[in-house]
């Protein structure tokens, strides 16, 4: 029974791969398909133009602190509903870790837009 299941699974995988390769190879590449699409307008700059590393770091830091802020809301509701001392301690520790991270980034001048 196990051998039958394995052979049917293998055959199904091979059939799916064969269908994929026959469908995927029928695409034609034209000049319009290889360019970037910017709302129907002609692109103003090259699509592979490098951007500022400082900007990338700032965006990543924003995302990290934004996710931490989103994680803060359920903790606040639990602290207000239960009034438990352990949840309040967790809230204070979470805010302290968030503050230490923010101060570290500020001290290392990673929050500055231009150097």
Q: What residue ranges do the domains of the chain occupy?
A: 54-109
> Does 12 have pLDDT greater than 80?
yes
**pLDDT digits over 66-79, tens only?**
888 888 888 777 77
Quote the longest CA-to-CA distance of the chain: 68
Instruction: Give the mean model confidence (pLDDT) for residues 8-17.
Output: 94
At residue 86, the pLDDT reads: 79
Rounded-to-integer distance, Cα 27 and Cα 23, Å: 8
> Does 49 have pLDDT greater than 80?
no
* Sign (positive or negative) of CA dihedral 75, 78, 79, 80: positive
Rounded-to-integer distance, Cα 93 and Cα 86, Å: 10
> Does 9 have pLDDT greater than 90?
yes
């Amino acid at each position: 029974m196990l051998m039958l299941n394995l052979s049917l699974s293998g055959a199904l995988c091979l059939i799916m791969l064969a269908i994929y390769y026959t469908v995927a190879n029928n695409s034609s590449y034209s000049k319009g398909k290889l360019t970037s699409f910017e709302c129907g307008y002609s692109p103003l700059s090259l699509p592979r133009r490098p951007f500022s590393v400082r900007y990338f770091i700032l965006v990543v830091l924003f995302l990290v602190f934004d996710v931490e802020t989103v994680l803060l809301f359920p903790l606040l509701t639990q602290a207000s509903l239960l009034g438990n001392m352990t949840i309040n301690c967790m809230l204070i520790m979470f805010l302290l870790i968030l503050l230490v991270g923010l101060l570290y980034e500020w001290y290392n001048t990673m929050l500055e837009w231009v150097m």
